[in-house]
Structure 1
Amino acid sequence: MNIRSLHRRPAVRYGLVVAGCALIVIGLDLFTNLMDRSRYLWDFVVYFDMAENGLVGNPNLWAPFVYRFLTPLLAGNLAALLSVSTETGFVILNYVGGIWQLVMVYVLAEHFSRRAWHAWTAVAAIALSLYQIKYMFWDVARPDPLAYPLMAIAVLALFHKRYGMCVAVSCIGLLTREFLIVPPIVLELLLLQDYWRTRSRATLRWMVFTFVLVSLFVIVPRALIPIYDTGQYVDPVNDPGSLKNLLRAPLSERRDFNFAFNLISYFLPVLLLLTPDRARRAWADLAGYRWFLLFFIVPVLVLTMYGGTDLSRFVTYLFIPLVMMLVVMLRHGIPAVEVLYMLVAVAIYNKIFLPIPDLLDPILDFYGGYDNRVNVVTLMRLYEVAAFMVGAVLLRGLLVLAARRNSNMAPEQAEQGA
C-alpha cells in the first residue's frame, strides 16, 4: 500500500492534519515570549481571577469579561486537576484551541477545494496571523482560542444545513466570545429569506427556536452574574454614559483609519494574490455564498467597531471569509512561487519570528491599529503593506515574462530539432 492510497483514508488523513497543525502550533509557541504580567493591569487579571476563584461569591467580576467565563473556568479546573499553575492551565487550552482552530480551518478549506495544498495554504495563512495563535501564547488568558474553532464548526454546520448543531455550538461559543452571535444572525437572516419565499411553518419554527435559545444564552448570564464594574465599550445597562460611544466610535477619524488599516492588514494574504481576473472568478465561484458573506461580514464589522480598543484582534473573526476567498482563488491555478511569496510576506508583516515587547507603547505599535492611536509607526506599517503589494505585482510581471520567453523558445527548439 503506497502513501497516496493510505492518505485517502479519512482517519489517516485527518490524523496527519492534526499532527501537522500541532507542529505548526508548537513552532509558533517556540517563537513566542511570555508576557510579564507584573507590568500591567489588563483583561487577563479578571480571567486569572475567574480561573482561580470561580464565579460564585467572587466580588471581582467585571463586564464583559465575566460573560466569557467558559475558557477561564476550564483553565482553572485543568490546573487543579493536573496540579499545575493557572498559567499552565491556560497554555494547555491555547494548545488545544490552536490545534483545533487550524484543523477546522483545514476542514473549512476542504469544503471549497479538495486539493490538500489549497487547504494547507489556508491553514498557513491563518496560523501566520499575529493574533490568531502567536499572541495567545504571549497573553495566555484570552478566551479566543476556543472561540475560533467553535465559530468554524458553527459555520460548517450552517453550510450543511445542520441548524441544530449551528445553534448549539454558537450558544456554547457565546460563553467564550460575543462574536459567536454571528452564526445565529446569519442563520436567522437566511431562514427569513427562505420563509419570505415559501411561508414554511418549519422555517418559522426554526427562526423562533434560534431566537429564543440564543437570547437565553445572551440574557441569562448578564441577569444572574453580579458584577463589580464594567469595562464594556458600549454597556447601556451598567454604564448608560457609554452609549455616547455609539456615535463617538464611527465619527472618530482616527478610529476609522485604524478600522480600515486592520482590515487591509488582516486580508493581506488575499490582497497579495488578488488580480482583476482572479477577483471575477472568485466572485463567480462564490455565487451560492454571497448572501452568507454579506450576513457574516456586516455583524463582525459592527462588533469590531463597538467591541472596544483592540480592533486588530476583533477583525480576526473574519477568518471565515478570508479562508473562503483564499481557497476559491487558489482553485484557478496560482503559481506556487506566488503562494510562497504571500506566506513569507505575511509572516514578515505579522512579525511571527520576533518577540513581542514588554513595554506599553512598543506593544501597541507592534502590530498597529489600536483604538484611535495613529502615529508614524502606523504609517510605516502601511508602507510595508504597499511594498509587499508592489512586490507581488512585480513577481507576477516576472512570471509573465518568463512564460512568454519559454513559449517563444519552444518553436525555435522545435525548428532546431527538425
Structure 2
Amino acid sequence: MSEQPAPSALPEDALRELKAAFEERSLEFEDAHFQQHELGYDIFGHVSWQESSKSKSGQQFYRLHRTFVFFYRPATTLPEAMLHSKSKLVSQLQSAFSHLLGMPSCQLEGEDQFNSAYDITTATPDSLRALLTRQAIDALVTVRDAVIILKPRGVLFMRHQQAISRSSMQLGPPGSRQVHNADQRIDDTDLQAFLDDAVTACTAIANDPDAGRRAANAVEGTFAEEALHNMTSGGGYIGHVISKHLVTREMLDALRHQPVPRSNIPGPIRKLGWQGSTTFLMTVLSLMGTIALIISLSTRNNDASWWIPLLISLGAYVGVVLTCCHRAARKRLVVHGRALPGIITAVEQTDDEVNSSLIYRIVVQPQPDGSPIEARMPEQAAKTARRLMEQGRETWVLVDPGKPARGTWPEGWSLEALPD
C-alpha cells in the first residue's frame, strides 16, 4: 500500500462509508493512508473507538485501538456478512446463540476446509454463497486469524483479537480496575504479513466488478428482503420481534395515498410513528409520581421534608404531560400530515444513543420547495438514507400542515425500504 499525504484528501463519500463500516461510537482515525484503485480506494490505518466493560465499581469506558484495511468500492453493493476465523468455544456458543435468536446458518456445501476455518454471520446466506467464487474460497483458506466484514460499499479486514500478540492495557489509578486504553494495533514486525493477508483474503471479492451483481441475481428481491425473509421464517426471538414491528411497503403506500385524516393505521406504524417507548416511560413516571405523592401526603403532618417527595411527584407528572404533548404532535403528523415528495440531502451521526444504538440525523428536502425536514433515527434507517442519497432516488415525507417545518420520514421505519 503506497502512502498518500493526508486522510482528509479522501473523497467525502469514501470517508463516510469508512466510518459506517465500523458502526462504533466516537471513531477516531490515526495514520490513515490510501491508494486509488480503478474500482475505488484501498485504505489502511489505525482506528480507535469507545468501548465499555462492567466491573464491581460499575461500567468503565475506554478506547480500543485496532489496525484495519478497508477496500472501498463505490460502484458495487455487497450483501452484509462477517467471516471470522473459528475459535472452538466461541463457535459453539455462537451456534447455540444464533439458533436461539433464529439467525440463518451459512456453510458452503462441499467446502470442508473452508467450513472448518471460518464462522459466518449473515442474514443473506444465499447471496453470500453466490459471492464466494472458487478463487475467493481458495484465497480465504490460506489466511488465518482474520475478521472480514462485508459492507454494501466495500470489504473491511482486521486481525482476530485472539491472535494479536501486542495487546497492552493502560490502567487507571493503582488498585483500580479502570481501563483507560486498550492497544491492539499491529506492530511493525507483523505489519507486512497483516497487509499481505488483507490483500489475499479480500481482493477476490473487492476487485471483482461483477461481485455485487452476481450476489444480487442469486435471489429474488433485494438483500434487505432476503434478510427479512430468512429471519422471519426461521422462528426465534429476532424473527418474532421483527414480524411484530415490521413496516411493509404496502403499509407505507397505503399511508402515503390515504386521504387525511387517516384512520385504521397499522400497529407497527403507530408504534414507530408516535408511541415508541413512551408508553413504558409514561407508566414509570405515573407510578413514580403517584408513590411520591402518597409519601408526601402521609408525612406532611410529622415530617418537615414532606415537600421533597411532593416536588418529585410534580416533576414526574410534568414529564407525563410533556410526553403526552410529544406523542400528540407525532400522531398529528401521521394522521393529518401532507405526503410530499423529497430527496435526502444529509445523513450525519450524532453523539446520542437509544438502547445502545447510535442515532443519526437525516435531512429530507421536500420537493419542489419547502423547509428541510430533520429526522433522528437509528443505524438501519441511516443505511437506507445513504443509499437513497447516493442514488438520487426520490423519497417522501409527512409534513404538519399547521407547522411546515415539522415533519417525519416514514420510509426510515421500514426495513424493506433499503435498496441494493
Considering the TM-score relative to the shorter chain, is it more than 0.5?
A: no
* Higher relative helix content: 1
Q: Which has the higher contact order (CA 8 A, sep 6+)?
A: 1
Q: Which has the larger radius of gyration?
A: 2
TM-score band by shorter chain is under 0.3
TM-score if structure 2 supplies the norm length? 0.22
